[in-house]
Amino acid sequence: MPFLGQDWRSPGWRWVKTEDGWKRCEPFSPALEDGKDQLNDVSHTVIITGDEEEEEIYDTEDCEFAAKKRKKDHFSTKTDSQCFYREKWIYVHKESTKERHGYCTLGEAFNRLDFSSAIQDIRRFNYVVKLLQLIAKSQLTSLSGAAQKNYFNILDKIVRKVMEDQYNPRLIKDLLQDLSSTLCILIRGVGKSVLVGNINIWICRLETILLWQQQLKNLQMNKQVNNGLTLSDLPLHMLNNILYRFSDGWDIITLGQVTPTLYMLSEDRQLWKKLCQYHFAEKQFCRHLIPSEKGHIDWKLMYFALQKYYPIKEQYGDTLHFCRHCSILFWKDTGHPCTASDPDTCLMPVSPQHFIDLFRF
């Protein structure tokens, strides 16, 4: 007796009628079989009776294997882990059809794409942090209750990672500042906004954010023990080439504080000019020319001035990808079941802002 869910094509669970009533079948786990039995010779299914100690085994001739259960979002209040799905991709559909009921939401995509594991990859860390920052600014209330809980669980993992590894704390400070500002506005105007859960939960979350901010403020960088060649031992032309690889002005300033030599290289006018030309069009920085005391253009000040008016180009080691042929969003290294003859031609990298825009209806 199949049970039809939202998807009318789904075979649902397989049920068997017994003396005690209808009972659900599940595939028999090969790990429970005796080592002497061969799967090719005998196949079984297990009837779940509700008692962990009692299980009735039926032959497959009487009961076929059940379809795999669709996993539901479940986040325990006592855990900080994300609900993992076997598939690491999600189909992005924006309307109801006979095959699919409803549409894909931002919260569903946030739960399915395993951002909890992505923050452990240094190539994806900045990408996930930027995405969480955009959600904090404008999309926090559009997340479901489970997605909001998942959001704060991932944020907790990010803070702990930064505290342990001292990796890029500036990004996390900006994220927490935007999130705390948003929550203060939402909590004060709770009658006019949409907050899932009791108001006391959100007050506790805000207090947690303030605690994180204080911990990051008191963060002390671990001193590295030099056992060999260091950055300061490199030739000047190599240090200069390293600085030219940076695409963020704050990273250049931070590196320039390490040694007097790096400070001298980080103040190079040509370096900041290249940075301005990379991020902004010529018409843009021509409108905001800032001359220095000697009459030259102060490219460093102009970079930060232009940053207030125009968005800068974003660079990430790895991003989510969207398949235009299958309308599937996924991490590239996990792949997806593409039906195109040449899948690589259908792939499109997805920036954090593009990820948000995909789920705006």
Structure tokens given for 123: 């190539």
> 10 Å Cβ neighbour count for 266?
23
Q: What is the mean pLDDT of residues 330-357?
A: 86
Distances (CA, A) of 311 to 217, 236, 252, 301: 27, 32, 18, 16
How far apart CA 57 and CA 282 sit, in angstroms, is 74
C-alpha–C-alpha distance, residues 127 and 356, integer Å: 13
pTM tops 0.75: no
**Which element (helix H / strand E) includes 46?**
strand 44-48
CA pair distance 85, 76, nearest whole angstrom: 16
pLDDT tens profile 286-339: 776 766 666 678 888 888 888 888 888 888 888 999 988 888 888 888 878 888
More confident residue, 46 or 22: 22
CA distance 168 to 126: 9
Mean pLDDT for 251-263 is 89
User: Which string of DSSP letters, residue by residue, matches 50-87?
Assistant: S-TT-EEEEETTTSPPPPPPPPPP---TT--PPPP-S-
The mean pLDDT value for 164-190 works out to 86
Q: Would you state the structure tokens that stand for residue 248, as one six-digit string?
A: 């963020």
Question: Which residue type, as a one-letter code, is found at position 170?
Answer: R
Q: How many CB atoms lie within 10 A of CB 322?
A: 20
Domain boundaries, the chain: 105-220+315-358, 248-307
